[in-house]
């Protein structure tokens, strides 16, 4: 390990068993940073130059705390040596964890004291919290000291843990203790979902230490790096929450592995499983092989695979499409959702559940030439699209998911490109593998002008996808108020039911969109509409944890007591999900203790008390006596 001496300002090398106490530095790289070669070449007089300011300051801060050495990623690694760079990246998490203190320099934060909303907003909005590499630099060190642009202390990871948790999604307990043992793979990935790196491969390489894996660096491999990272995680992890991700359609994505960390943006609440419950996973050239419970729904060809079961029993499922008549090989049916199925609810509807050995094939290879077309459509480059069409590119070219160029233009709201494609004969109603037309795609993405344009040229407003979801259904799922208003003005059915019997209001409640719920209620949506499983919109809000959605439905007069097909009321769902805040809300508004299904033998309250869930006991004690 190479360290910078804070007094002599010279680099010194140490064997692994002779490393002295050291500080470590975390920062956003500027346009010019002092490198290993600079320190090796320059003499001590160079330290007075402006470009050495950052090194002078960090050495001064570390020396003031009695530390003789500091490590910086800019100058303590010889980046011209690929082997040294690879070794350093694989060791970096450990180096940060073993440092006495990590100084996190926030060049874009000037405040020293965080006592008001503006200063706290400035701290949480620092670019430091948005970068890929700084995630491990925050999590690994026991002590992180934040410094402002004047090199003054703002606070520590411990003293600022509530603000940092809000900015990053990392639970306060993890920030305070550094204990990652109970954190699921999916939850760790969610912390990286919105972070960026300059080089695409670093989105994977910056996460290796967080998951305790090592792998060689292959700069130039692009997105393959993240796939390799997930394969390494599967080899060592006792947790299959890695499969709990969702993302808008990505070219070539149909396997179990996510294309990049952004796919885990909605996975922050996924808990880890019991290690004893994890099936063996085999990865080979055919795909990912594992034995898991699957639900075969009556009348459906696709299977609902329960790819992960949390400690506590909650299942996470994804839909798989069979690729062979024997039913041994599958691909992911859609990458846009995963679900929390209740086994009893499916069984009550005649579904069969069985353990099954399956193989989910790897994602399809992508035609890079076609990717160029989708990028042109997505970015709205009409002149470039006109050039490509003039050179003979088929206007209705489709990708491996069956999506046309018009579909991509519609999703990104590019009216000019869409108009050009339609003028060249693009098919208005060409649907992809999920039955989604360009109109439905524009509704999902909230592109009001594109929806208006497509309707104006005759798009079929009544078309439904394979889930029987209408354009209004998709607007409700994604909280697209402008599109919903437009569709309702055009006469869309506010009570349309999808394949599971869910109305737009139920979908809005399920996804926690308060404004959409308010809009639909004002447009006459039925407050107590039950789906095929007997669940009302309030039941969905209670099941999925949408506090504000549930509060609005209750204020609108929603019935607190209706039971679904398995005998659960909204309170029953809140208890099953161990959602303290939801339990309290329902009890405060008059929900009564109901009997859970008789085969469970316990009532809603006594079941929770029997499990000894202290936080829910507290919620029940604080609630009114009933």
Specify the pLDDT at position 45. Answer: 65
With beta carbons less than 8 A apart as the criterion, state whether 353 and 278 touch: no
Which residues on neighbouring strands pair with residue 290, listed in sequence order? 281, 358
- pLDDT over threshold 80, residue 64: yes
With beta carbons less than 8 A apart as the criterion, state whether 591 and 571 touch: yes
Closest C-alpha to 174, from 186, 163, 183:
183
Residue with structure tokens 């990286």?
A: 192
3-state class (DSSP) for residue 35: coil
Specify the pLDDT at position 311. Answer: 66
With beta carbons less than 8 A apart as the criterion, state whether 419 and 386 touch: no
Specify the pLDDT at position 354. Answer: 86
CA distance 566 to 114: 50
Give 368-411 pLDDT, tens digit per residue. Answer: 556 678 788 888 889 999 998 898 888 998 887 788 999 999 99
With beta carbons less than 8 A apart as the criterion, state whether 224 and 255 touch: no
Kindly state the percentage of the chain with pLDDT values over 70: 90
- pLDDT over threshold 70, residue 489: yes
Specify the pLDDT at position 597. Answer: 42
Give 25-60 pLDDT, tens digit per residue. Answer: 999 988 888 889 988 886 666 777 877 889 999 999
Enclosing H/E stretch for 119: helix 117-124
Return the HEC string of 141-164.
Answer: CCCEEEECCCCCEEEECCCCHHHH
What architecture does CATH give domain 367-493? Answer: Alpha Horseshoe (1.25)
Specify the pLDDT at position 367. Answer: 53
With beta carbons less than 8 A apart as the criterion, state whether 263 and 246 touch: yes
Instruction: Give, rounded to a whole angstrom, the gap between the first and last alpha carbons of the chain.
Output: 65
Homologous superfamily assigned to 503-626: Ankyrin repeat-containing domain (1.25.40.20)
Specify the pLDDT at position 365. Answer: 55
Q: How many CB atoms lie within 10 A of CB 53?
A: 13
- pLDDT over threshold 80, residue 120: yes
- pLDDT over threshold 60, residue 613: no
For residues 240 and 338, the model is more confident at 240
Give 524-555 pLDDT, tens digit per residue. Answer: 999 999 999 999 999 999 998 789 999 999 99
Give 288-343 pLDDT, tens digit per residue. Answer: 999 988 888 877 788 888 888 876 677 888 888 888 777 788 988 777 777 877 77
Specify the pLDDT at position 448. Answer: 97
Give 79-107 pLDDT, tens digit per residue. Answer: 999 999 999 999 999 999 999 999 999 99
For residues 152 and 335, the model is more confident at 152
- pLDDT over threshold 90, residue 366: no
Residue 615's pLDDT band (boundaries 50, 70, 90)?
A: very low
Specify the pLDDT at position 548. Answer: 93
What are 551-557's contacts with CB under 8 Å, separation 24+? Answer: 551/585, 552/514, 552/517, 552/518, 553/509, 553/517, 553/527, 554/585, 554/586, 554/589, 556/521, 556/527, 557/527
Closest C-alpha to 486, from 439, 452, 525, 438:
452
Total residues found in the chain within this entry: 626
- pLDDT over threshold 50, residue 70: yes
State the number of CA atoms in the 13 A half-sphere of 308 facing the CB: 26
Residue ranges per domain, the chain?
2-179, 224-361, 367-493, 503-626
- Both structure tokens of 179: 């204990």
- Both structure tokens of 172: 């306060």
- Mean pLDDT within 261-284: 86
- Both structure tokens of 304: 């609902």
Q: What is the pTM of this model?
A: 0.75
- pLDDT over threshold 50, residue 626: no
Chain-centroid distance of CA 456 in Å reads 36
Question: Of 89-93, 200-204, 390-394, 584-588, which range is least confident?
Answer: 390-394
With beta carbons less than 8 A apart as the criterion, state whether 450 and 422 touch: no
- pLDDT over threshold 50, residue 595: no
Which residues on neighbouring strands pair with residue 105, listed in sequence order? 27, 147
Mean pLDDT taken over the chain: 87
- Mean pLDDT within 184-205: 96
């Amino acid at each position: 390990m190479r360290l910078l001496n804070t007094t002599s300002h010279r680099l010194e090398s140490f064997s692994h068993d002779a490393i002295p106490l050291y500080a470590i530095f975390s920062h956003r790289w500027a346009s010019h940073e002092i490198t290993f070669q600079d320190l090796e070449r320059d003499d001590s007089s160079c330290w007075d130059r402006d470009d050495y300011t950052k090194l002078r300051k960090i050495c001064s801060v570390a020396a003031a705390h009695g530390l003789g050495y500091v490590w910086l990623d800019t100058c303590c690694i010889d980046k011209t040596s690929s082997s040294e760079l690879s070794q350093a990246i694989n060791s970096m998490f450990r180096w940060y964890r073993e440092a006495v203190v990590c100084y996190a320099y926030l060049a874009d934060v000037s405040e020293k004291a965080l006592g008001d909303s503006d200063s706290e907003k400035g701290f949480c909005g620092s670019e430091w919290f948005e970068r890929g590499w700084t995630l491990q630099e925050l999590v690994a060190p026991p002590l992180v000291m934040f410094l402002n642009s004047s090199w003054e202390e703002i606070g520590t990871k411990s003293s600022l843990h509530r603000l940092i948790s809000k900015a990053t999604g990392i639970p306060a307990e993890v920030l305070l203790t550094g204990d990652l043992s109970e954190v699921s793979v999916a939850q760790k990935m969610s912390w990286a979902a919105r972070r960026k790196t300059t080089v695409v491969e670093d989105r994977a390489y910056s996460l290796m230490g967080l998951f305790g894996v090592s792998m060689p660096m292959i700069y130039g491999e692009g997105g393959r790096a993240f796939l390799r990272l997930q394969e390494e995680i599967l080899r060592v992890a006792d947790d299959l929450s890695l499969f709990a991700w969702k993302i808008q359609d990505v070219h070539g994505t149909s396997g179990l592995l996510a294309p990049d960390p952004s796919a885990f943006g909605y996975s922050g609440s996924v808990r880890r499983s019991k290690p004893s419950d994890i099936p063996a996973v085999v990865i080979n050239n055919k795909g990912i092989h594992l034995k898991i419970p699957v639900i075969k729904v009556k009348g459906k060809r696709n299977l609902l695979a329960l790819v992960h079961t949390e400690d506590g029993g909650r299942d996470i499922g994804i839909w798989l499409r069979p690729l062979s008549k024997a039913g041994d090989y599958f691909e992911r049916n859609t990458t846009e959702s995963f679900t929390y199925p209740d086994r009893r609810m499916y069984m009550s509807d005649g579904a069969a559940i069985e353990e099954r050995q399956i193989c989910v094939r790897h994602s399809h290879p992508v035609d890079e030439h076609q990717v160029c077309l989708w990028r042109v459509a997505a970015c709205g480059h009409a002149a470039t699209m006109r050039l490509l069409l003039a050179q003979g590119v088929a206007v209705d070219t489709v990708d491996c998911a069956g999506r046309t160029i018009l579909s991509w233009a519609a999703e990104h709201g590019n009216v000019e490109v869409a108009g050009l494609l339609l003028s060249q004969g693009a098919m208005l109603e060409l649907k992809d593998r999920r039955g989604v037309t360009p109109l439905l795609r524009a509704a999902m993405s909230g592109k009001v002008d594109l929806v208006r344009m497509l309707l104006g040229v005759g798009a079929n407003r009544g078309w439904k996808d394979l889930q029987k979801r209408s354009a209004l259904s998709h607007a409700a799922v994604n909280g697209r108020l402008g599109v919903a208003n437009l569709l309702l003005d055009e006469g869309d059915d506010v009570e349309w039911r999808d394949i599971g019997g869910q109305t737009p209001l139920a979908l809005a409640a399920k996804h926690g969109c308060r404004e959409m719920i308010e809009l639909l209620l004002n447009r006459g949506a039925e407050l107590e509409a039950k789906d095929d499983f007997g669940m009302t919109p309030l039941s969905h809000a209670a099941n999925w944890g949408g506090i504000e959605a549930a509060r609005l439905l209750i204020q609108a007069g929603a019935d607190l007591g209706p039971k679904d097909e398995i005998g659960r009321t909204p309170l029953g769902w809140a208890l099953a999900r161990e959602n303290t805040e939801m339990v309290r809300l329902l009890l405060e508004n008059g929900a009564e203790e109901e009997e859970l299904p008789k085969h469970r033998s316990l009532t809603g309250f006594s079941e929770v008390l029997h499990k000894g869930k202290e936080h829910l006991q507290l919620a029940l004690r604080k609630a009114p006596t009933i």
